[in-house]
Structure 1
Amino acid sequence: MKKTFIYSTVAQTVLLTIAGTAIAAEDGTEQLDTIDVVTEGSMFRMGEVPFHQAKSAVAITREQLDSQNVDKLDEVAKYQAGFANQVFGNDTNTNWFRVRGAEVSQAVNGLPTFSYGFFTPYVNSFGLEAIEVTKGADAMTFGAAKSGGLINYVTKRAHKDQIGHGEFKTTFGSHNQYGLAADYTGTLTDDERLRYRVVASYLGRDGDWEGTDNQTLYIAPTLTWDISDKTRFTLLTGYQRDHGTPSSNFLPQEGTLVPSPRGYIHRRTNLGDPVKDTETNRQYNIGYEFSHDFNNGLSFNSSYSYSHIDNYHRGAYAYPSAYNADWSPLAPSAAGYSLSRAVVFNDGKAISHTTNNYLTWNYDNAWLKNTLVVGTDYRHNKVDALYSLYGTTSNTNLFTPSVGWNQAQDVSAAPHVQIKSRQLGFYLQNNARFADKYVLGLGIRHDRAEQREYTSTQKVKDNHTSYSASLMYEAPFGLNPYFSYSESFNLPTGLSGDETLYDPNITRQYELGLKYIPTWLDGTISVAGFRAKDTGALVGNGLGATISSADPIYRKGFEVQADVNFTSNWTGTLAYTYTKSESKDSAGKKTRQPLIPTNMVAAKTAYSFTEGLLKDLTVGVGLRYLGHSVTSKGSLYSHARLPSATVVDLMARYAITPNWIAQVNIDNVGNRRYVSGCDYYCYYGAERRATANLSYKF
C-alpha cells in the first residue's frame, strides 16, 4: 500500500501547490466584496440546489429538524419518500437507515465517516444546522458509497449573521427523557473576521426495552477566520460520550410476527441482560475547512477530519429460534420457550483520517453556464479491538426473561481484530447548462482501495472506475424532466460472518424523474422511478452477522414527494414510496429481500394561527403507513408476510414571546404495537413517545 500512500501524497500536494501559487499571485491585488460561503460543509460540490439536481436529492433544514423534534437522527426522514426508517426498531444508540431498499453511507461536513460494527459514529442532532440526502447510488461524491445513497450532516459553525445570538433549550418527556442544550456564536475581533461558536448538550432517556438507557454528552467548539475577503478557514472540533445499557431488540418470529400459544411477547421484553450489559462510547473529532476564491470563476476547497472512537460494548442476545438436531429452526414454544444466547463484545479503538481537495472553475457566456470540478480525496482507517459475536452466557426464557439477568458472561475468547483500510480517489465532474433549458452532468472517478486484517493475515484490494451522467430539461411552467445513470463502489470494512474480508459492493442505477415547481402553488413536487443492480451486497447470515451476497440483488422503485404551502400559515407534505428488492440466483430464481416494505405512505400538515385567542399557536398532525414486507428465506417462518401498520403523530408549538418557544411532540399517539421488520429476527416498531421542549432564542 506504500504506492497508494505516495500517490495520495503527490495528488494532494499538486492541488495544494496550485492553490498556494494562485493565492500568492493574488498578494497586492484589489480585494472585492465579501463572498458569503453558503455551501460550507456541503457534499453538493456542483453548485446546484438539491431540487435542481438531476437526481433525487434533498436538504433538510434546522427548522424542519426542530418542527419534528428530531433527537435521534433515524427519525429525520419519517416524511421523506424513499426511506424505510428504523427497520430494526428504536435502538438506544444506533441510527438505522434504509433508502431505496439498501443501506446508506453517512458523512459529516462533506467527509465520509468510518463505519464498522460499534465504531459507527452516533451523530448528535442538536449540533446540526442541515442534513443533505442523495437517494441512490453515488460514487462521485465520496468514492466509497453504499448502494442506498448518502446522508451528510452539516454541523453548526460561526456565521457572521449569528454573532451575539444563541439558544438555550430544555427537554422532558416519556421514558424518563431529560436534557439541556446551549448554542452561542461570538466574535474575537472588532471587525468580526475571527468568530467562534460553542454548542453543547446533554440528553438522557430510557430505551423501549426494559432496563435499557443511554446518556449523551456533546460539546463542539468551532472557530472561523476570514483571512481575507476571498479566503476562509474554519476549525471544527467535537467530543461526545455515550453511556448506558444497550438495547436487545432481537426477538423471535414466534410471539411477534405470529402469536405463540401464550400470546404475543410484550414489546418491552429484554432478552439480553440489563444487569451485565453495558456500553461506553467516546468520540473525538478535529478537522478544518479551507476555501479560497481566485476570481475569474476559479476557487479551491480543502477539508480534513481526524476521528478517534473508543468503544466498550458487552451485550447478551437471544438466538432467533430453538433448533432441531440438524440446526433447522424450531418454534420456541416447542422447546419450553427456552432460547440459547450469546454475547456480542467489543473493546477497542478506531482511528480515521479523511481529506478532500478540489478545484472548481465556473464559466459562463450567453449560451453556456459551466461548472468543472477536479479533485482528489484520501482516507485511512484503523481498527484495533477485541471483537466477538459469540461470547457465552446462560439461556433465557421468552416469557420470563429475568431468569437470564445478572448471569455470568464469558468473552475471554474474543479474538484480537486489527484492520487497516485505505482508499485514494481521483474525480472529474462537469455540469453544463445550455440555452438556460438543458442541464448536462458528466462524471468519472477512479478509486484505489485496499484492506488488511493482520490477525488472520487477510488482504483484499480493488481498483475501480465509476461513471455518472445526467440530463435535465427545464421546460416551461416549472416542469423539469430528467434522466440519470450513476454507480456506487464500496469495499466494506471488517470481517464477515464467515470470518473473511468482504467482497467489493458495486451498484449500477438508472433513474427517470420529473421535478415540478408549480406557478399556481407555493411548493415543489417530485416524481422518480429507478432500477438498480447490486453485486456483492451485504446480507444477513441468520446469526446477527452479515456476509457478501453470492447472487446479485435487483431493486426497483417509484417515489413521490410533495412539499407545499397551501397558504402562508398552512403547510402540507406527502411522501409515497414503492420498493421491490429481490435476489436472483444462477438458475434465475427470484427471492424477495427482507426488511423492505413494498409500499409506504407518509402525510403531515401543520396550521399556524395568526389572530384571536390561538394566535402564535401551531398545531400539526402526521400519518405514517408501513406496508407489508417479508421475513428471510430459511427463517422459522420463511418468507412470511408481515402485516401493515399505521401510526399517527401529533405536534403543537406555541410562541410565548418571540424568544420563548414551547413545543410538544407525540409520536405513535395510539401506542400501536407493530413489527417494523423481520429477517431471521423480528423487531418491534417504536412505541409511543411524548416530548416537551422549552427553548429561549436570542
Structure 2
Amino acid sequence: MKQKTLSTLSLAVWLALNSTAWANDVQQNDVQQQELDTVVVKSSGTMFKLGEVPFRQAKSAVALTAQQLQQEGVQKADELGRYQAGFTNQPFGSDTNTNWFRIRGAEATQAVNGLPAFQYGFFTPYTETFGVEAVEMTKGADAMTFGAANAGGLINYISKRANREQVGKGEIRANVGNRQQYGLAADYSGSLNADKSLRYRVVASARHAEGEWQDSDNRTLYIAPTLQWDIAPQTQLDILSSYQRDKGTPSSNFLPQEGTLKAFPDGSHINPRHNYGDPKNDTESNKQFSLGYELKHQFGKGVSFNSSYRYSNTQNFHRGAYLYPSAYAADWSPLEPSAAGYTLSRGVVFNDGKMQSHSADNRLNWQFKNAWLNNTLSAGVDYRRQKVDALYTLFGTTASTDLRNPSVGYGQNQDVSSAPRTHIQAEQLGFYLQNQARINKLITLGLGIRHDRAEQTEHTRTQKVKENHTSYSGSLMYHAPAGFNPYISYNESFRLPVGLGGNDVLYDPAITKQTEIGVKYLPKAVDGSLSVAAFRAKDKGALLSKDLGATVSNPSMVERKGAEIQADVNVLDNLNVGLAYTYLKSTSQDSTGNTRNPLLPKHTLALKTAYQFNEGKLNGLTLGAGMRHVGSSVSSQGSLYSAAKVPSSTMFDLMARYDFAKNWQAQINVDNVANKRHVSGCDYYCYYGQGRNVNASVSYKF
C-alpha cells in the first residue's frame, strides 16, 4: 500500500510539471466543473466549511437534491443510499422507527444543517424526508467537519428554509400506498415586507404507514417554520425550528437464524409478516423539537464569518418485546428452536426519558485569489453539550412465544420495573484549522488539523471518562485534461461514544485512520460523471453488538478496505443511466487471526435508468427502473450458525412520473417488485429485508 501511495503522489507531481501543453483542456475542465458547482452548491446549512463542491473534493463526497430523493421514492432516510456506492442499506431491515446507516462497513454520523445530531439509543433523530431540501454525504473517516464522527462517514440533511427565490411558491402533496400508507404534506414561502428582505417558510406533513411486521405502524406529524432576514447586504440571519411527533407500535426485526437463514426441519421459513413482539402491549411515542439560527456576514476582501447554533429536545417512551436469538442448553450453548418445540424466550426493551443537546459552530473564512492561487483558509471553534436522563433496560421480562403461532405471546404481562436510571452528561470542545489551495488551476492541496477535548459523566453509577485528541487530514488532487482528476487523501475520525455499553461501562474512544486514492472524471463526450475510489481504514475502539444486542467497545482492531465505482451519465438528452458498485472487506484482528465481520456483503451493485418522453402523446412521462444486488455476507462468530454464509439477493424497482397538467405531477414507485423474501444480514440474529412497497403521490406546485 505504501508503494502505491508513493506512486500516485509521484504521478501527480509529474503531471503538474508537465502541465503547460494542457492549459486549454484544463480551462475547459474548469468550465465543466463550474457548471456542476451551480447545481449542487448550497451556502446555507452545508457541512462543507470551505465551500467545496462534493465532486471537486479529494475524497468520496456526494450531494443529493430533494428532486432526486423524490424520484427514487425515498420515504425513510435510510433508503437514500440504495443507489449510492459505499452503502450497506438497511442491514437490520426496514424499521418503523429507526434509520440504519452503514457506510464503508461502519456507522455514519447524522447531522442537520451542518451541526451534528445527537445519537444515543432511542434518542437518535428521526428524519422527515419531505422537510429535506438536500442531503450531503461524505464516505469514510472525517474528523475535520464535526470532531466527534463515526468511522463510516457523515450524512447532513439540509432542511427546507425560507429564501428569496422561493417567495410566493409552494407545494401540496398527497400520497397513498400499500400497508395503509397515506399522507398529506404542504410547503409555502412568503414575505413579511415589501422588499422581501424578511421572509418565512412553513413546511408541514402528516402521514401513516404500517411496518413490515403485522400490526406494527407509525404515525408522523411534522411542522417546520423558518424565518430569513437580510439584515444588511452583507449580513443574513436564518431562524430554524421544527417539531416532530412519531407514535405507533414499533417493529422488532430480530429473528432467530433457524427459520430465516436456514429452513425449519419441514422446509418452511418464518413468514416476514409475523410479529414476534407483542402488538397489544408494545408502544412508542417520540417527540422532538429543535430551535436554532444561522448567521452569515461578509466583511469584504474575502473574509466572512459564519455562526450557527441549535437546541434540541427529545422525549421518548418505548416498550417492545423481542425474541431471544435461539434456544439454549443448560450450559447456555445455543440450540435450534425446533429442538426446543419452537418455543423461544423473550425479553423487553424499555426506554422512558428525555434528551437535551446544544450544538454551536463559529468560524472565520478567508478566501484569497490571484493569477495563480485560489486559497481558502477556515479557522473555527465548535462546542456541544448533551444530557440524557432516562429509565432504560434491555432485559425486561415477558412470556415466551411459539415461532409457529406468535399470537400466543400477545397481551402477556411485561415487567420493566427493574429498569435502572441512566443519567449521562457529555461535552466536547473542538478547535480546527483547514486550508485548501488551488494552484495554477491544476492542483488542489488540502490540509487540516483539529483538537478536541471530550468529557462524559454517568451520574447514577459515578463513572467519568475524559479524552483529548488531535486529528489530521491531508489531500492532493490533480486537475488533468479532459476532466480527469486523480487524488489521494488521508483522514482521521474521532469519537467518544455517548452511553453505557452492555457491560454497564462507559465506552472507550473510537479512532479511525483512513487512506484513500481515487479518480473523478467529467468526460467531454457525454454529460455525466464517473468516480472511482479505493480506501483502507483501521478502527480502534469500534462498537460491537453482542448476544442479545448489547453493545460494547470492540477490544480488537477492525480493518476495512474496499473499492467503489459511481457513475451518473445522460446517455441521451432524455435518457439517464446510473451505476454504483462496492467491494468491501471488513475484518477484526485478534489473537486468533482475522475474523470477517457480520452484516457486511463483499459486493453490492445497483443499476438504474430513467427515460423521459418529450414529444407526442407521452410528452411529460418519465419511466424508470432499478436493480439492486446485495452480495453474500456472514453471521457472527459464536452464534447458532457461526460464521455461516448469508446468501445474496437481487431486487428490482420501478418508477413512473407524469406531468399531466400545468403545475400537476403524479408519480408511482414500486420497490422490490417481486416481493422477494430475503435476509438482509445476520449477526446473532437475522433480519428480513424490505418487502414490496408501493407508493403513489400527486403534487401541485405553484
Calculate the TM-score normalised by the size of structure 2.
0.94
Q: CA deviation at 1:239?
A: 0.3
Q: Which residue of 2 aligns with 1:84?
A: 88
Distance 1:320 1:663 in 2: 40
SS where residue 104 of structure 1 aligns? strand
Q: CA deviation at 1:269?
A: 1.2
Q: Which residue of 1 aligns with 2:269?
A: 264
Q: Which residue of 1 aligns with 2:585?
A: 580
Distance 2:591 2:537 in 1: 18
Distance 1:658 1:87 in 2: 41
What amino acid maps onto 1:165 in structure 2? K
Q: Which residue of 1 aligns with 2:181?
A: 177
Q: CA deviation at 1:544?
A: 1.1
- Pick from 226, 237, 248: which aligns with 2:230? 226
Q: Deviations over 1:535-563 (max 9, x none)?
A: 00001111111100000000000000000
- Pick from 600, 605, 612: which aligns with 1:601? 605
What amino acid maps onto 1:224 in structure 2? Q
- Pick from 516, 524, 530: which aligns with 1:519? 524
Distance 2:589 2:391 in 1: 36
Q: Which residue of 1 aligns with 2:620?
A: 616
Distance 1:78 1:585 in 2: 33
Q: Which residue of 1 aligns with 2:245?
A: 241
Distance 2:675 2:463 in 1: 48
Q: Which residue of 2 aligns with 1:653?
A: 657
The answer on whether the counterparts of 2:221 and 2:244 sit within 8 Å (CA) in structure 1 is yes
The 5 Å alignment of 1:277-316 reads 277-316=282-321
Q: CA deviation at 1:38?
A: 3.5
Asked if 1:273 is matched to 2:278, the reply is yes
Asked if 1:675 is matched to 2:696, the reply is no
Distance 1:38 1:684 in 2: 37
The 5 Å alignment of 1:193-212 reads 193-212=197-216
Unaligned residue ranges in structure 2 (runs of 5+): 1-39
- Pick from 529, 535, 543: which aligns with 2:540? 535
Q: Which residue of 2 aligns with 1:16?
A: none
Distance 1:399 1:437 in 2: 66
The 5 Å alignment of 1:234-633 reads 234-262=238-266, 263-587=268-592, 589-633=593-637
Q: CA deviation at 1:37?
A: 9.2
What amino acid maps onto 2:114 in structure 1? G
- Pick from 619, 634, 640: which aligns with 2:644? 640
What amino acid maps onto 1:660 in structure 2? W
The 5 Å alignment of 1:48-63 reads 48-63=52-67
Distance 1:296 1:306 in 2: 33
Q: CA deviation at 1:125?
A: 0.3
Distance 2:276 2:613 in 1: 47
Asked if 1:47 is matched to 2:29, the reply is no
Asked if 1:147 is matched to 2:145, the reply is no
Distance 1:597 1:341 in 2: 29
Q: Sort the Cα spacing of 1:640 and 1:233 in 2 relative to 1 into closer, same or farther, 3 A.
A: same
SS where residue 408 of structure 2 aligns? helix
The answer on whether the counterparts of 2:216 and 2:250 sit within 8 Å (CA) in structure 1 is yes
> Which one is further off, 538-547 or 124-133?
538-547
Q: How many equivalent pairs are there?
A: 662
Distance 2:501 2:82 in 1: 31
SS where residue 617 of structure 2 aligns? coil
The sequence identity of aligned pairs, in percent, is 62
Distance 2:72 2:384 in 1: 34
Distance 1:104 1:568 in 2: 35
Q: Deviations over 1:386-437 (max 9, x none)?
A: 0000001000111111011110000000001100000000000000011110
Q: Which residue of 1 aligns with 2:135?
A: 131
Which consecutive aligned stretches of 4+ in structure 1 deviate over 4 angstroms post-superposition?
none
SS where residue 645 of structure 2 aligns? coil
What amino acid maps onto 2:584 in structure 1? T
Q: CA deviation at 1:658?
A: 3.0
Q: CA deviation at 1:586?
A: 3.3
What amino acid maps onto 1:691 in structure 2? N
Q: Deviations over 1:615-666 (max 9, x none)?
A: 1110000000000000000000000001110000000000011300000000
Distance 1:322 1:359 in 2: 59
Calculate the TM-score normalised by the size of structure 1.
0.94
Distance 1:70 1:432 in 2: 37
Distance 2:232 2:578 in 1: 42
Q: Deviations over 1:3-45 (max 9, x none)?
A: xxxxxxxxxxxxxxxxxxxxxxxxxxxxxxxxx9931000001
Unaligned residue ranges in structure 1 (runs of 5+): 1-35
Q: Which residue of 2 aligns with 1:10?
A: none
The answer on whether the counterparts of 2:81 and 2:87 sit within 8 Å (CA) in structure 1 is yes
The answer on whether the counterparts of 2:456 and 2:465 sit within 8 Å (CA) in structure 1 is yes
Q: Deviations over 1:649-693 (max 9, x none)?
A: 000000011300000000000000000000000000000000000
The 5 Å alignment of 1:87-102 reads 87-102=91-106
Q: Deviations over 1:116-168 (max 9, x none)?
A: 10000101100010000000000000000000000000000111111000000
Q: Which residue of 2 aligns with 1:70?
A: 74
Distance 1:649 1:135 in 2: 25
Q: Deviations over 1:440-480 (max 9, x none)?
A: 00000000001010111111110000000000000001000
